[in-house]
Structure 1
């Protein structure tokens, strides 16, 4: 019999985070969900627990950009629940941007949530995980970080920075007992992707994305990508010379 895991998910009240929580609960795991909206978060946990014999979903409201609150959340989780087996830093935001509506403040906001808050999260949880020589840190970035894409300058830049940092951290964590997983989704139907005004290729439902994410966490290796067909197409674009890449993107963008 597989031992139930303790899983902490930020950005857990909707989208990939909520779908991943459901997937973990279906497996018999215990899940701690964090998000900024305390009322919505509690409602989500109540609905999840209503389908279970006993409560296995727990709410801890949190703004991931608040450094002190993040530390307090970690201390509370470890003290009142358990040291999580999986920590999934999923909280993120997206604002479509273009050169015609360039606002540096949008770039700062996305970097604060998508990059600096995740770095602070890793900084917060890593000492205890290292001391116990166990645990998995999963960072949700995006295939949008592979290369510059139209209207994704701010979002893609924040995810590219996260990919770069995780690549560096992965080697440094070897032998520590702590696993680092980089999650790079393509287009998944969420409140964030609902902001996109263009047709999204290979759009996945959050339930399918959650299954791929959990399966990836249990598999060896560093990067987890889905849907694979779209992700590997973008990996191919990453290898192209600029002259070819820009022409292809312009053609695909109409």
Structure 2
């Protein structure tokens, strides 16, 4: 087993993480999968027997992250690829601003990812090889109504990845940031507004798998949403805020 390529995917119970883990396993990888719900991981493992290995985990627990990362390396071998996909979304407006919900979002999306990075970067730096991909979001490009907590966490991930990429590169470790638009997952089903350019999770899987095979730092999709959000981010504040005001419910 140790001679085969090894991957670790967090947030693999549902959505994008699950789809990418399944794709990697079908491509011949040995894949460690983590999420908080054992049943989701068990059902995924049944889809590709002998290739997917379940390691239940709450990424907000730093000690547990370190223990699981060590367990994976001891069981499966050194990690060639790590995809940090775990995340949560708590919509909130100014009127129903929720400090606990905001803190939970930051704890999972940002600090949970930080916990995982701290666990996987040192061994990769020591080996001078490996690839880490962090799932952020195009919502990190511009502040959007009701997505203040989620967008803030994803903007922080984009900034963090930009800061780490040159540093990791000098040690031979690749870092990618994945910025999806709206993907049909359990998280987006919380939205009660029209989602432009919504794509099925299978299409997201196609884009990510293709992007991981390139040298691009950013994997962003679908292209229509990428163009729209990056153009919006370039507009003067007055015009940009006038546009986002029209998104209010």
Deviates more, 1:56-65 or 1:168-177: 168-177
For residues 13-47 of structure 1, the C-alpha deviation after alignment (integer angstroms, 9 at most, x for no partner) is: 11001111121122222211100112331232123
What is the CA–CA distance in structure 2 between the aligned matches of 1:214 and 1:84, rounded to whole Å? 17
What is the CA–CA distance in structure 1 between the aligned matches of 2:217 and 2:29, rounded to whole Å? 22
**1:52 corresponds to which residue?**
none
What is the CA–CA distance in structure 1 between the aligned matches of 2:85 and 2:23, rounded to whole Å? 15
Q: 1:106 to 1:240 in 2, by over 3 A?
A: same
**2:198 corresponds to which residue?**
203
SS in structure 2 opposite 1:21? helix
Matches within 5 A, 1:56-135: 56-135=51-130
2:6·2:29 contact (CA, 8 Å) conserved in 1? yes
What is the CA–CA distance in structure 2 between the aligned matches of 1:172 and 1:6, rounded to whole Å? 23
TM-score (structure 1 length as normaliser): 0.94
2:145·2:247 contact (CA, 8 Å) conserved in 1? no
Deviates more, 1:57-66 or 1:164-173: 164-173
**1:46 corresponds to which residue?**
46
TM-score (structure 2 length as normaliser): 0.95
For residues 65-116 of structure 1, the C-alpha deviation after alignment (integer angstroms, 9 at most, x for no partner) is: 1111101111111111021211000000001110010011111100000001
Unaligned ranges ≥5, structure 2: none
**2:27 corresponds to which residue?**
27
CA RMSD of aligned residues (A): 1.4
| Aligned residue among 229, 239, 253 for 2:224 | 229
2:26·2:48 contact (CA, 8 Å) conserved in 1? no
Deviates more, 1:29-38 or 1:184-193: 29-38
What is the CA–CA distance in structure 2 between the aligned matches of 1:22 and 1:120, rounded to whole Å? 24
2:178·2:218 contact (CA, 8 Å) conserved in 1? yes
Matches within 5 A, 1:185-196: 185-196=180-191
**2:8 corresponds to which residue?**
8
Unaligned ranges ≥5, structure 1: 50-54
What is the CA–CA distance in structure 1 between the aligned matches of 2:173 and 2:71, rounded to whole Å? 21
- Give the superposition deviation at 1:4: 5.1
SS in structure 1 opposite 2:184? coil
What is the CA–CA distance in structure 1 between the aligned matches of 2:232 and 2:149, rounded to whole Å? 19
**2:36 corresponds to which residue?**
36
2:5·2:80 contact (CA, 8 Å) conserved in 1? yes
